[in-house]
Structure 1
């Protein structure tokens, strides 16, 4: 079973600092990262900057289409040039089929605001107490929003967004 986690930080550097923690945890085999992206929303800006983290992920990454659609829904900002139009609208309904429902989207939208950053990460096999301890030990004070995906939902997500 995969987990789509969003770590929200009350500053614009927290997400990038958390990426470094995840890299270390992944090397120690305490978490398996399939895909990840960051959002940094500077104060005074109308929209956040988004970036897919290819250096943290390997085989099985969902790709830019998934992140583009998700960030387009959350912040009305497509990532990697995904056009949010009729095609994206058709895919939007399929997100609820893969465990990403309106409650998850609204919760993230309400929490990731100007002056904050967030790390979006698709993982499995996390040793949760070690992950939480490492994040805390790094001095990061993030709020965790997550949704678990069943094996069927994960397979459908990969099928829908495979590049």
Structure 2
């Protein structure tokens, strides 16, 4: 079973630093990172910069359309037109079926603000004590949504490339 987690950092670079650590832990087979994306929000910026991890494409990856939709839903929905808003409403209902509900979106929107960064991860198989030890002393807030196998498959299918 995969876990979707969002790690919020109190600096613009915290997520990128954590990304580097996680990729190192993956090379040691201490965690499996299926897919990930970074959000960094400069203090003086109107909206955040987002980036999907390039080396995660392939089997198990959710893909750019998922991350783009999720980040649009979290950070940019008020800017969308009515027709797009209706489509977003339908898709966001589907996301609720896989554990990404309105309270999850609201929590992220309220905590990822200018001057912060976030790391969005789809992971499994973490050796928690070893992963935790590598992040000792790192300040971050963790928002977690556990996905069942069926939910994970539904999420991948919803955003699979055509």
Q: Which TM-score applies when normalising by structure 1?
A: 0.89
Residue matched to 1:93:
93
Once the two structures are superposed, residues 27-77 of structure 1 have per-residue CA deviations (whole angstroms, 9 ceiling, x without a partner) of 111111111000000002110000000224542111111101110111117
- Cα 1:57–1:124 change in 2 (3 A) is farther
Counterpart secondary structure, 2:135: helix
Q: CA RMSD in A?
A: 1.7
Q: Deviation above 4 Å: which 4+ runs of structure 1?
A: none
Q: Report the equivalent of 2:152.
A: 154
Separation of aligned partners in 1, 2:24 and 2:64: 24
Give unmatched runs, 5+ long, in structure 2: 78-83
- For residue 87 of structure 1, report the CA deviation from its aligned partner: 3.5
Q: Which runs of 5+ in 1 are unaligned?
A: 78-83
TM-score by length of 2: 0.90
Equivalent position of 1:19 in the other structure: 19
| Residue 104 (1) aligns with residue 117 (2) | no
User: How far apart are the structure 2 equivalents of 1:115 and 1:51?
Assistant: 17
